[in-house]
């Protein structure tokens, strides 16, 4: 019985000795690392550097994923410029609307009406309808370009907008302003008014 107790005490002493040796080795490694960092001359082992690089890469990846790509803003700028061009050229919808108003004017005007009434009903309403649709396209171009230009202020303020997006958006805004001005002048008969019947 005493022998078993002595053997158990020996085993416990040996285990404590092993634990003490491991703790001492760990403490020596930590002390060496601390000295190397304090001196500035030592280098951290390769495994520690790799782990630090991996951690930094993992932290940087989510930031890159969250950054907006600018595809939506670019598409909006192009749409704005195209709408501005359509407002100046008239577009298919404006042409169809003008032809419809001309047909309606022909149907509603009697053959005994005065020449001035026939010109106004057949051509004047069609002209105004075309100007109205051109103005709507110009207004859409103006608003779309303004939204694209104002978007960075409400999105990611730290990320600048690409220069080509700004240029195309400004082109859309400019075309929208010109188209809107021309549409108002045409609709109010200040520009290219209908000829008088006299």
Helices 125-154 and 71-89: crossing angle in degrees, nearest 10, is 160
Measuring CA to CA, how many Å separate 114 from each of 8, 99, 121, 192, 196? 128, 22, 11, 22, 12
At 198, which helix (H) or strand (E)?
A: none
| pLDDT score at 8 | 47
Q: Three-state SS for 57?
A: helix
Looking at residues 17-25, what average pLDDT do you find? 54
26 vs 146: which has the higher pLDDT: 146
What pTM did the predictor assign? 0.61
The residue assigned the tokens 């790509």 is 69
Helices 163-187 and 71-89: crossing angle in degrees, nearest 10, is 30
Considering the chain, what is the average pLDDT of its residues? 75
pLDDT digits (tens, 9 = 90+) for 134-183: 999 999 999 999 999 888 767 666 667 788 989 999 999 999 999 999 99
- Cβ-based burial of 35 (10 A; exposed 0-12, middle 13-18, buried ≥19): exposed
């Amino acid at each position: 019985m005493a022998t078993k107790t002595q053997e158990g005490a020996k085993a416990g002493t040996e285990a404590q000795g092993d634990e003490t040796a491991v703790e001492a080795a760990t403490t020596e490694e930590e002390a060496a690392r601390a000295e190397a960092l304090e001196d500035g001359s030592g280098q951290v082992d390769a495994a520690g550097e790799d782990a630090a690089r991996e951690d930094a890469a993992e932290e940087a990846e989510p930031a890159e994923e969250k950054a907006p790509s600018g595809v939506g803003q670019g598409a909006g700028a192009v749409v704005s410029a195209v709408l501005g061009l359509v407002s100046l050229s008239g577009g298919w919808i404006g042409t169809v609307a003008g032809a419809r108003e001309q047909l309606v004017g022909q149907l509603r005007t009697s053959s005994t009406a005065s020449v001035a009434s026939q010109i106004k009903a057949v051509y004047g309403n069609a002209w105004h309808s075309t100007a109205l649709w051109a103005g709507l396209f110009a207004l859409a171009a103006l608003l779309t370009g303004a939204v694209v230009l104002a978007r960075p202020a409400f999105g990611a303020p730290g990320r600048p907008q690409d220069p080509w997006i700004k240029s195309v958006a400004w082109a859309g805004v400019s075309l929208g302003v010109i188209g809107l001005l021309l549409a108002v002048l045409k609709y109010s008969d200040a520009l290219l008014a209908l000829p008088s019947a006299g």
